[in-house]
Chain A
Amino acid sequence: MDNTYAIEMLNITKRFPGIIANDNVSLQLRKGEIHALLGENGAGKSTLMSVLFGLYQAEEGIIKKDGVEVHINDPNDANALGIGMVHQHFKLVECFTVLDNIIMGVEPVGALGILQKRQAREKVMAISEKYGLHVDPDALVRDISVGMQQRTEILKMLYRENEILIFDEPTAVLTPQEIEDLMQIMRNLVKEGKSILFISHKLAEIMAVSDRCTVLRKGKHVGTVDTNKTSMEELSAMMVGRNVNFHVQKGPAKLGEVVLEVSGITVASKVHKNNAVKKVSFKVRRGEIVCIAGIDGNGQTELVHGITGLEPLVEGKIKLCGQDISNASIRQRNVKGMSHIPEDRHKHGLILDYSLEDNLILETYFQPRFTSKAGFLKRDNIRDYSEKLIEQYDVRSSQGPATRARSMSGGNQQKAIVAREIDKNPELLVAVQPTRGLDVGAIEYIHHQLIAQRDDGKAVLLVSLELDEVMDIPDRILVMYEGEIVGQFDPKKTTEEELGLYMAGAKRMEVKA
């Protein structure tokens, strides 16, 4: 009976300074199954897989392959045992071809180490055919789509004839169609006798594709269940440790005066010569959440950049509480009551190599409470303030205010930004994809914060690509298509299907600001 498991990880414990990433965790992967590993950000999923792949060594516990104990000290050992991994951030050399990336490390060579690419190419093409993994072997990785990059990663594992395939959050970067393709590929792989470990925090995908599911919470093993005998509700309760509401409760909106008035603004595109935003006008009032919906790349990013001052306007006017801020600097907009939860939290939200406390005062450091008249920072006040925020917004990190932002999990980085932006007590909160890449618990938290702001009489402008979020959170939906607003809806009176038609450009209506 030993042989029913391809891989067993028994009682694994892995500690990092200040944190136990895996605490006595066990995981058993049967041969020929898709086994999901579910947990919130920072639950220890990636760490556990890194232990299996030899990137980290566990302090305690054993790993068995086919019932025999093995020691995996580096990725070479894992590879020799037939374990392959598709990392969340692809490990591909961008200026190499797809073929070069696949063979790298196990290159077929002739005399003097000269590469023999022809036989490698034949083998790659044969595998690609067999599993339906379409790639262009001679294309440079930097020129191909994210989906093809992922297929390249999968081919890397198959080229090495790996039997156990680890997928670390493979769907995070894919479009819905690519996700569908990937799931089909995973099913094909299992049919051919491969065993798959699938890391995710997206419940729908786990329900759709996996046979069994192991749940981790805060580094501890919560349980392993058969997917067809469980439900999304049960899984999310196991993951978060309490019942999660998928639907947000909120009362009716109490509209106040106009806070943000955008009239006829046009913003240039960085990607192409045309304008990304074309004469867009709308208003956001106190006490309402307005959501800009649309398929990615229809000008939402540029619209927000125009409003927040990251990009100059080509034409048009923006008023905040009646004051013209069309040409105001970002600092002026901040001071006048605009808060911004940016789309890219690494690029525009945080300085990753600064401490958490310094990130928390990025927009307020110049105030007398943090800077003395002589220009010195008041470190004690900053520490007190950040400790208050960390507690109030439940930002978790290994070393408190002094933690480097880079070392924090995505959910906690986002919470830190939310804390900073909301604590400024803004008139207008601009939130762009505020829940992207976050797990169920963190999403619920952020949604509650947005609604609390609305109920507090603030104006909230939300930009979202997730239809669930678009239907649930706002009081009014504006659909953006090719830089224009093509529809306005009341979320209670519309359907996802109707929105989809407008988002795809199949229908449009006149919208007055």
Chain B
Amino acid sequence: MLLLIQYTLIFSSVLILVALGGCFSEHSGVINLGLEGIMVMGGLGGALAMRYLPPDLPALAMILVVLLCAIGLGALYSSLLAIACINFKADQTIVGTALNILGTAAATVIVKAINTATNPNDVSSTIQYIRPKKSFIVNIGSFEFNWFMLIALIAVVIAYIVLYKTRFGLRLMACGEHPQAADSVGINVYKMRWYGVLISGVFGGLGGICYLLAGVSEWKFENGVAGFGFLALAVMIFGQWKPIRIAVSALLFGAFRALSNVYFGFEFLQSLNIPSTVYNMMPYIISLVVLAFTSRHSMAPKAEGIPYDKSQR
């Protein structure tokens, strides 16, 4: 049971971070379908940092550098979306999809190149981080506390305050709802949308490295992040673009994902004799079902997906 809670919390943390990223981007008016790719890039940044940092670095320093690398690469990668969709008014769906394809492919190529350079016989796309991973984990009894759980919690609180209590949030959401209105009161729509996308890059990158550190001690970059970026989008929609509701729905989806890791720990689940693949499928099936029923009442920002053009009124 404890294991279930632990996995639920860590997978929920991933979903919370990434969904909040999507939430900021969409509130500014840019649909970010590229979260999957941004996660991979953030994960790559963090994983490379862990590979090259001396493993005996103090835990705090290790955490900070890894996070900064993940955030940095995630934000940098998301700026591709921003340039294409905000400045050049490209179709947001297409650019987002391109980012996803490019993200996994680029990460695979980069890691393979690094691996072959160090050992010509190694053509895998795997990075190992057994020792650095320990910096992120504190054992409380048999419960493995991961610092990302705290980071996700703080992120929810900050996101809530920023969106609903600050000038920045008011202006950001105005740009996603009615950019002409924002423009008419002197708000720079392009600038706010850039902020929105960059924040989604930051959160996406964080979520990426969090996902890599969640279960395993090495990552094969060919696998990307197994659809977690899209799962996070589902969480965001189910959470109606609101931070607190996102956190709750992330816990729900996280629990189903965790089940696939730990179902063998429950006797009655084991006795059902369902193949493990079914459990693996669960979160994705749930997201399909849930979205089919809830997306009708969607409270999506009205102007999302439409490039803002100052000259059109």
Contact = CB atoms under 8 A, between A and B. Distances in A.
B297 interface: no
B173 interface: yes
* Chain A interface size, under 10 / 10 to 19 / 20 to 34 / 35 or more: 20 to 34
Contacts of A104: 170-171, 174, 181-182, 185, 187
Given A55-B313, A74-B186, A105-B187, A92 B167 contact: no
Contacts of B173: 93, 95-96
B167 A107 contact: yes
B180 interface: yes
B168 interface: yes
Nearest to B302: A94
Interface string A67-89: 00000001110010000010100
Given A113-B167, A113-B168, A115-B170, A105 B186 contact: yes
Given A109-B166, A115-B170, A75 B185 contact: yes
B184 interface: yes
Contacts of B36: none
Contacts of A107: 167, 170
A101 B173 CA distance: 12
B177 interface: yes
Contact of A156 (B177, B185, B187, B299): B185
What bracket does the count of chain B residues touching chain A fall in?
20 to 34
Contact of A95 (B166, B177, B182, B184): B177
Given A94-B302, A105-B185, A115 B174 contact: no
Contacts of A74: 186
Interface in A40-56: 55
Among B166, B174, B186, the most chain A Cβ lie within 10 Å of the Cβ of B186
B185 A100 contact: no
A208 interface: no
Given A75-B186, A92-B178, A93-B173, A115 B313 contact: no
B168 to A, nearest CB: 5
A79 B183 CA distance: 12
A115 to B, nearest CB: 6
Given A112-B166, A115-B165, A96 B186 contact: no
A91 B184 contact: yes
Contacts, number: 67
Given A74-B186, A115-B170, A91 B165 contact: no
A154 B165 CA distance: 25
A93 B174 contact: yes
A106 interface: yes
Contacts of B171: 104-105
Contacts of A509: none
A212 to B, nearest CB: 27
Nearest to B313: A55
Given A94-B302, A100-B170, A113-B167, A106 B177 contact: no
A95 B168 CA distance: 16
Contacts of A94: 177-178, 302
Given A107-B167, A109-B167, A114-B166, 18 more contacts: A55-B313, A75-B184, A85-B184, A91-B178, A91-B181, A91-B184, A93-B182, A94-B177, A94-B178, A94-B302, A96-B177, A104-B174, A104-B187, A105-B186, A106-B185, A112-B166, A115-B165, A115-B167
26 contacts: A55-B313, A75-B183, A75-B184, A75-B186, A91-B181, A91-B185, A92-B181, A93-B181, A93-B182, A94-B178, A94-B302, A95-B173, A95-B302, A96-B170, A96-B174, A96-B177, A104-B181, A105-B186, A105-B187, A106-B185, A107-B167, A107-B170, A113-B166, A113-B167, A115-B167, A156-B185
Interface of A: 55, 74-76, 79, 85, 87, 91-96, 100-101, 104-107, 109, 112-115, 156
The 8 A-B residue pairs with the shortest CB-CB distance in the complex, in nearest-first order:
A105-B185, A91-B181, A76-B186, A113-B166, A91-B184, A107-B167, A93-B177, A113-B167
